[in-house]
Chains A and B, each alone.
Chain A
Amino acid sequence: MHKIFQKIIIFLFYFFAFVAFIALSVFFIFIFYKGVNAFSIKLIFDDTPPLDALMLQARVFNGIFNAIVGSFFVVFVSIILALPLGFLSSIYVACYASKNVRFWMGFLCELLSSMPSIVIGLFGLSVTIFLHKNFFAELYPSLLISACSLAILVIPYIIKMTESSLCQIPFSIKNVGLNLGASKTQNLFFVQLPYVSKEILGGIILATGRAVEDTAVIMMTGAVAMAGIPSSIFQKYEALPFFIYHISSEYSSKEQINQGFGAAILLLGVSLFLFATAFALRKIISKRSGFGI
């Protein structure tokens, strides 16, 4: 009886794994087929000469170029904002904090990283409304607001990755500097941080991937369908994931759907590339720590 039961369970394991495998294969085949077919220079730049578009001398009206540029900038600014905050916080937590502070920071980080991104988007929006009403009448949802909200989204990732890599430095290495008479700060900068630089890089890449793909935050805080390339960070902008969402709800022609698939394959490529790089870095790291030096 027991044996039969176990056999059935194992059969179910293979069955569900098979279902997942088929569904995911269909997903990837479909998106690659549609995306690669749709992809072309025209898709990105429309009829504008690519060189002119890249030099920002001619405006692209019907291509995804604006969305690519918008995505790039919003992610870039958000990482610039998140990096120092996350990095310094994690150093504090890993090297200077008491056990209690560490516990609560860990809890807050986990809470923040589990927070639905739409809530963070709404937070960004409400702060904007608040500031708009009370202080800066000129402030509207914009690239800067999106970048700040995305920063909030990725800060916990950066903290967690950096902190855990600092904490996992082998004991033999951790205090080498101290033994040689370095101060705690010197030891941090000359021994510990160089040792975990690859992990930190992996954390940043992962955070970038997270920021690139998130749609819920930017749709609340300033991403729009038609904005061109913003001339300052206080303007509305276009972004790839939002473009894809927008197409799905508003498309009116087959051509637009094709554009959507072109944008999709591009976004997929970027995300997977970032993710795979972070993953490969982690593999390198685990190999190194395997020997323990």
Chain B
Amino acid sequence: MKFLFKFGLVVSVITTSSLVFLILAFLLYFSIPLFDSAIFVGFFTQKWDVSKSLYGLLPMILGTIYISVLATFFATAMSFSLASLSEGFLPKKIATVVEGIIVLLAGVPTVLYAFVALFLLVPLINIYFFMGKGLSIFTASFVLAFVVLPTIYVMMLSAFRGVPKKHIKTSLCLGATKKEVFFSIMLPQAKPALLGAIVFGFARSVGDTLIALMLSGNSLHMPNTLFDSARTLTSHIALINANDYESVAFKAIFLCALLLFIFTFFVVATLKYLYKEKRYA
């Protein structure tokens, strides 16, 4: 019995820890045939046009960067404001309510944000602001910001809470106001962890599929302005037509996934290195 239990433990650990490697192995297995072909450089320099046998991922890479950078910007502005207000300025009772609401937001399914935006924000932009530009980088990143907001907010809260209470008390004792405590003690000390929160939020927004898929228009053109339609790496994967497993177009999908994998690896490794302890449980 006891042996069985220990055997189960070991088997589970080996299984769960090999998952990441399995994912990597499969991504490589399907994308390696592309590596030695002459078109490899083309993946990072060309456009995507199957009819002309062009399989460049550059538009998707750019689309991903534009959308997630902008989304992170919006999300950071809102979550930093909310976190600062609830840790530094608002009365405790209100702060608790704000925290409860935003933490609960993390439970809202992503697809719903996109769905509502599609019937509310997109027509609004289409009709009143920029004719026919409802499905665009701007729309996608604005909505995406709300998806990553709770993540960044929670990490920023814990960044502020990581500032030792005694330092805050000492400055209060010297007659500092809430504002002064915030700007001269809490902000400087929480800064590294706040930056970590932003990086993590950025990774989240790069990895999200549904918002960009439903709201950015998925065009294959190189995006130029904020109100252009664009496609992200994630939506490019989602939009595959898995009929011909041997085609270059299908294999290129795995290259997209590989890029996302590598990006995630670097973000997690960097954060792990910067903050030795677990900050984002």
* Residues in chain A within 8 A of chain B (CB atoms): 6, 10, 12-17, 19-20, 23-24, 26-27, 30-31, 34, 84-89, 91-93, 96-97, 104-112, 114-123, 125-127, 129-130, 133, 152, 155, 159-161, 164, 185, 209, 212-213, 215-216, 219-220, 241, 244-245, 247-249, 257, 260-261, 264, 267-268, 271-272, 274-276, 279
- Please judge, given known A-B contacts A16-B81, A129-B245, whether A85 and B108 are in contact too, CB under 8 Å: no
Asked if B207 is at the interface of the complex by the 8 Å CB criterion, the answer is yes
Asked if B17 is at the interface of the complex by the 8 Å CB criterion, the answer is yes
Known: A31-B112, A84-B8, A119-B260. 19 other contacts (CB 8 A): A13-B80, A20-B78, A20-B82, A85-B15, A92-B9, A108-B20, A110-B268, A116-B206, A116-B260, A118-B237, A118-B260, A123-B23, A125-B242, A216-B210, A244-B111, A245-B210, A267-B109, A268-B112, A276-B107
Q: In the complex, what distance in Å separates the CA atom of A9 from the CA atom of B30?
A: 50
A24 touches B105 (CB 8 A): yes
Shortest beta-carbon distance, B177 to chain A, in Å?
A: 11
Q: Considering only CB atoms and an 8 Å cut-off, how many residues of chain B contact the other chain?
A: 78
* Residues in chain B within 8 A of chain A (CB atoms): 2, 5, 8-13, 15-17, 19-20, 22-23, 26-27, 29-30, 77-78, 80-82, 84-85, 89, 100, 103-116, 118-120, 146, 149, 179, 183, 200, 203-204, 206-210, 213-214, 234, 237-238, 242, 245, 253-254, 257, 260-261, 264-265, 267-269, 272, 278, 280-281
Main secondary structure of the interface of A (DSSP, over half): helix
A112 touches B26 (CB 8 A): no
A220 touches B238 (CB 8 A): yes
Q: B78, B107, B269, B281: which has the most chain A beta carbons within 10 Å?
A: B107
- Please judge, given known A-B contacts A111-B265, A116-B260, A215-B210, whether A89 and B112 are in contact too, CB under 8 Å: no
- Please judge, given known A-B contacts A88-B12, A111-B265, A123-B27, whether A16 and B77 are in contact too, CB under 8 Å: yes
A117 touches B207 (CB 8 A): yes
B89 touches A268 (CB 8 A): no
Q: In the complex, what distance in Å separates the CA atom of A5 from the CA atom of B201?
A: 27
A215 touches B146 (CB 8 A): no
B112: chain A residues at CB < 8 Å are 31, 244, 264, 267-268
* Interface residue from B84, B110, B245 paired with A213 (Cβ < 8 Å): B110
